[in-house]
Amino acid sequence: MCGIVGATAERRVAEILLEGLRRLEYRGYDSAGMALLNNAGMVKVRRVGKVKELADAIERDGVNGHVGIAHTRWATHGGVTEANAHPHVSNNELAVVHNGIIENHESLRETLQGLGYQFDSQTDTEVIAHLVHHELKSATTLLAAVQNAVKQLDGAYGTVIMDQRDPGQLVVARSGSPLVIGLGIGENFVASDQLALLPVTRKFIYLEEGDVAAVSRESVAIFDRDGNAVERDVITSDLQYDAGGKGEYRHFMLKEIHEQPFAVRNTLEGRVLDGKIAVDAFGAQAEDIFKQTKHVQIIACGTSYHAGMVAKYWLEALAGVSCNVEIASEFRYRKSHVFPNSLLVTISQSGETADTLAALRLAKEIGYQASLTVCNVASSSMVRESDLAFLTRAGAEIGVASTKAFTTQLAGLLMLTAAIGRFHGMSSSTEARIAKALSSLPTKLEECMSITGAIEKLAPEFADKEHSLFLGRGEQYPIAMEGALKLKEISYIHAEAYASGELKHGPLALIDAEMPVIVVAPNNELLEKLKSNVEEVRARGGIMYVFADSKANFKSDDSMRVINLAHVDELIAPIIYTLPLQLLSYYVAIIKGTDVDQPRNLAKSVTVE
């Protein structure tokens, strides 16, 4: 999704801005641009395509400056064209970059056109440029003009504005889209994500909702939504930017798949001790809150939603609480019933997904007992705004298709099951079994990597297929959904997942030799029922790929390829069976030649609705 970087310094900033954009590339985008102020005034360079195209153009034109703003755009309003790429400029004097969506852009556009402003793009962002330019006719400073302008904006924005009549200063405003200020010595920076600024600073200030700030080389002045001067905490980041290299791997996604044993080990570190789960891993108040919790409402999007669906099976079977799981974009716009003592759990890799964040904020208004986020980014809005937080510690995930974030979320959610269950009648032997299964997980994941070669050999059989079906039962049903999501995200093959019991209620009609059916079949109490579903597919000429427990006794034949996995405790089977499905989608995408780490049209962190 869109990325923002800005800088004001004595040194030239074009390369700092470009490096910042490169570090945000993983989020997904379709065009990039930069505006710089120098002695000659303002220069603007924009390109459709990769940051490399922009960097080449900037180098070729020899463009630079001491103040600048840059942006990667993921199109929402207006097609992917150079004219729609940011920055947007008003009267060649004032430039704006913006993340988010201005919902009242049409009426503002009409008003501004009436005032004589000409629009060069189809974007909602361009209204900010002209609106601030207009406000600056009556306001005495750029800061005051931005403060007046944002009062007229509906929707979400993280925006940075610079003006050649007031060079040296960046004015930033945040409402609904994250922005961070990076503090240097005699220079300051802004970005939509601290990752972009790690080469230049480790000191950051996170703006809060409604904040507007004036950032110059020597000072940062922050004002809240009412215009009061406010101090915000300065944090020192210890984030490791390991995205710089893919190491021995061809893609970040493959590296991140292989990092899973290590990532899960990190998730568990110091939190599973002597057969018990450390409840305070969820926050200092966790014990008090979990004792009162009677119901869990999970809210998430995408892959994180699938993690939530697995957690529902665990929580209801083991922890003695009821649980609902809902997609954030649905939950936030419907009137829902709040059960007494209901804990709202958001699950998010980024902690910034707009719909999930909005659902969290809504939950505070409608009477939830408390909120917990299971999240990978300690500095994210969700962590900062939730009562409790469990950090998954997966490390930076760069591939747009989520892998290690998912398996670490699952590890965290199994811990949550034990942590809540302890106060609701779960026996200490069940907690000890969960602890033991979790402790074995990193090694089991490592061992599971040995199937990589077998999966690589299977992948060519999918390359010419247009559709596929994934089947699972019980807590493996959401794993089948996640497998289908991975395949469609990066190989662009249409993939659907079904709970295998639903097969005869529709999808069976689709089965033929051109529709591969992928089955996730661990050795649990549903195995015999799953075997019947497999026979239903076989009888209709379907070709199956079965990922099965070695004890489940599936045999390869003309209509079925069996890939055996070592037997594991069924508690952790959903986490283990995720891995072959990730590898399958990866190797199919390689054969199809897609952009694995940045698949078309997708974004890593969806900060707009």
Q: Which residue numbers are catalytic?
A: 2, 604
The dihedral sign for the CA sequence 425, 426, 429, 432: negative
* Nearer of residues 123 and 605 to ligand G6P, judged by Cβ: 605
x/- track of binding to ligand G6P for residues 402-421 (CB under 6 A): x-------------------
Does 169 contact ligand G6P by CB under 6 A? no
Minimum distance of ligand G6P from residue 304's CB (angstroms): 4
In the list 191, 215, 301, 480, the residue contacting ligand G6P (rule: CB under 6 A) is 301
In the list 353, 392, 468, 582, the residue contacting ligand G6P (rule: CB under 6 A) is 353
In the list 192, 260, 267, 350, the residue contacting ligand G6P (rule: CB under 6 A) is 350
b/e burial code for range 328-345 (CB count within 10 A of at least 16 → b): bbebbeeebeebeebbbb
x/- track of binding to ligand G6P for residues 53-92 (CB under 6 A): ----------------------------------------
Minimum distance of ligand G6P from residue 414's CB (angstroms): 18
Does 349 contact ligand G6P by CB under 6 A? yes
Does 606 contact ligand G6P by CB under 6 A? yes
Minimum distance of ligand G6P from residue 225's CB (angstroms): 25
Distance from C-alpha of 576 to C-alpha of 565, rounded to nearest angstrom: 9
Candidates 182, 187, 191; CA nearest to 217 is 187
Minimum distance of ligand G6P from residue 293's CB (angstroms): 22
Minimum distance of ligand G6P from residue 406's CB (angstroms): 8
Distance from C-alpha of 546 to C-alpha of 561, rounded to nearest angstrom: 6
Six-digit token pair at 44?
A: 């603007």
Distance set, CA 122 to CA 77, 116, 326 (Å): 6, 17, 34
With residue 590 as reference, give the H or E element that holds it.
Answer: helix 573-592
Residue 606 φ then ψ, to 5°: -95, 95
Q: Which stretch binds ligand G6P (CB under 6 A): 103-111, 280-288, 318-326, 348-356?
A: 348-356
* Nearer of residues 478 and 507 to ligand G6P, judged by Cβ: 478
Distance from C-alpha of 35 to C-alpha of 164, rounded to nearest angstrom: 11
Distance from C-alpha of 39 to C-alpha of 465, rounded to nearest angstrom: 57
Angle at 402 between CA 494 and CA 329, to 5 degrees: 75
Binding footprint of ligand G6P, residue count (CB under 6 A): 16
Does 602 contact ligand G6P by CB under 6 A? yes
Count of other CB atoms within 10 angstroms of residue 512: 11
Distance from C-alpha of 389 to C-alpha of 372, rounded to nearest angstrom: 5
Does 605 contact ligand G6P by CB under 6 A? yes
Distance set, CA 110 to CA 93, 107, 113, 114, 351 (Å): 21, 5, 5, 6, 36
Give me the sheet containing 544-549, strands edge to edge.
494-499, 467-472, 517-521, 544-549, 560-565
* Nearer of residues 485 and 519 to ligand G6P, judged by Cβ: 485
Which amino acid is present at 553?
A: N
* Nearer of residues 127 and 606 to ligand G6P, judged by Cβ: 606
The dihedral sign for the CA sequence 151, 156, 157, 158: positive
Minimum distance of ligand G6P from residue 606's CB (angstroms): 5
x/- track of binding to ligand G6P for residues 1-30 (CB under 6 A): ------------------------------
* Nearer of residues 348 and 369 to ligand G6P, judged by Cβ: 348
HEC readout, 54-82: HHHHHHHHCCCCCEEEEEEECCCCCCCCC
Residue nearest to ligand G6P (CB): 302
In the list 348, 369, 407, 476, the residue contacting ligand G6P (rule: CB under 6 A) is 348
Which amino acid is present at 410?
A: L
* Nearer of residues 83 and 327 to ligand G6P, judged by Cβ: 327
Which amino acid is present at 9?
A: A
In the list 123, 159, 304, 491, the residue contacting ligand G6P (rule: CB under 6 A) is 304
Question: For the CA atoms of the chain, what is the radius of gyration?
Answer: 25
* Nearer of residues 44 and 604 to ligand G6P, judged by Cβ: 604
Does 400 contact ligand G6P by CB under 6 A? yes
Helices (H) and strands (E) in the chain, counts: 18, 27
Indicate the SS3 state at residue 272: strand
Indicate the SS3 state at residue 181: strand
Minimum distance of ligand G6P from residue 149's CB (angstroms): 30
509 exposed, middle or buried (CB, 10 Å; 0-12, 13-18, 19+)? exposed
Distance from C-alpha of 222 to C-alpha of 214, rounded to nearest angstrom: 7
Q: Which stretch binds ligand G6P (CB under 6 A): 29-37, 156-164, 301-309, 570-578?
A: 301-309
Six-digit token pair at 402?
A: 């989520």
* Nearer of residues 484 and 517 to ligand G6P, judged by Cβ: 484
Q: Which stretch binds ligand G6P (CB under 6 A): 40-48, 83-91, 227-235, 347-355?
A: 347-355
* Nearer of residues 119 and 492 to ligand G6P, judged by Cβ: 492
Does 604 contact ligand G6P by CB under 6 A? yes
Q: Which stretch binds ligand G6P (CB under 6 A): 124-132, 398-406, 435-443, 492-500?
A: 398-406
Residues of the shown chain interacting with ligand G6P in the complex, contacts defined by CB under 6 A = 301-304, 348-350, 353, 356, 400-402, 602, 604-606
